[in-house]
Chains A and B, each alone.
Chain A
Amino acid sequence: AQSVAQPEDQVNVAEGNPLTVKCTYSVSGNPYLFWYVQYPNRGLQFLLKYITGDNLVKGSYGFEAEFNKSQTSFHLKKPSALVSDSALYFCAVRPTGNQAGTALIFGKGTTLSVSS
């Protein structure tokens, strides 16, 4: 079965330190990869996506993500964390090809907590 794994329920970092939120997937072919962020009592906001090309993609709020095809990973990163980055982060994958119209497959989410 196709799936997305976010192995850490929570990631804690100090403000100013780099952060990484991990994501691996098990989807056939070359899926589209996404990261979304959810702030308390808000809907999900799009951060960035990987479609093709450069393995390092840059997105909103200084976030970037590194695609690794051999490891089927798409880790979210930021060089210097801010307290305001504290939120719930979701990795999501959409299969391509004949299933191009299908739903996003979401990971379970990782809570990022940035301390001052």
Chain B
Amino acid sequence: EAQVTQNPRYLITVTGKKLTVTCSQNMNHEYMSWYRQDPGLGLRQIYYSMNVEVTDKGDVPEGYKVSRKEKRNFPLILESPSPNQTSLYFCATPGQGAREQYFGPGTRLTVT
């Protein structure tokens, strides 16, 4: 079964404490991306990756990092989280051209 998994699903943390949200896909897709969802704003892309070791900024990359060391995994890193990064985060693949995206189940992050 085609699947995008994210962990953790829920996370409450404090300002400044580094955290990583993992994302993994079993479809052998080259393209992966991260979005954040905020009420009234829809989904906005944070970062995307066209392939291993190839990443690029989306619309709202400030405060985030990503890495793509292998095709199946695309972790999102918050080196020093702040309260304005409280949001619902989605990993997705593939998202190129006419192909629809498969989304992970989401990670609800609260930064206090």
Which residues of A pack against B, CB within 8 Å? 4, 32, 34, 36, 41-46, 49, 51, 90, 92, 94, 96, 100-101, 103-104, 106-109
Contact = CB atoms under 8 A, between A and B. Distances in A.
A32 B97 contact: yes
A67 to B, nearest CB: 14
Nearest to A4: B42
Contact of B97 (A42, A44, A100): A100
30 contacts: A4-B42, A32-B98, A34-B100, A36-B103, A41-B106, A43-B4, A43-B105, A44-B90, A45-B103, A46-B100, A46-B101, A46-B102, A49-B98, A94-B95, A94-B98, A96-B97, A100-B96, A101-B50, A101-B96, A101-B97, A103-B33, A103-B35, A103-B48, A103-B95, A104-B95, A104-B101, A106-B42, A106-B43, A106-B44, A109-B42
B12 interface: no
A46 B100 CA distance: 7
A100 B96 CA distance: 6
Contacts of B4: 43
B74 interface: no
Given A43-B106, A106-B43, 18 more contacts: A41-B106, A42-B106, A43-B4, A43-B103, A43-B104, A46-B101, A90-B42, A90-B43, A92-B43, A101-B97, A103-B35, A103-B45, A103-B48, A103-B95, A104-B101, A106-B42, A108-B40, A108-B41
B42 A103 contact: no
A73 B104 CA distance: 28
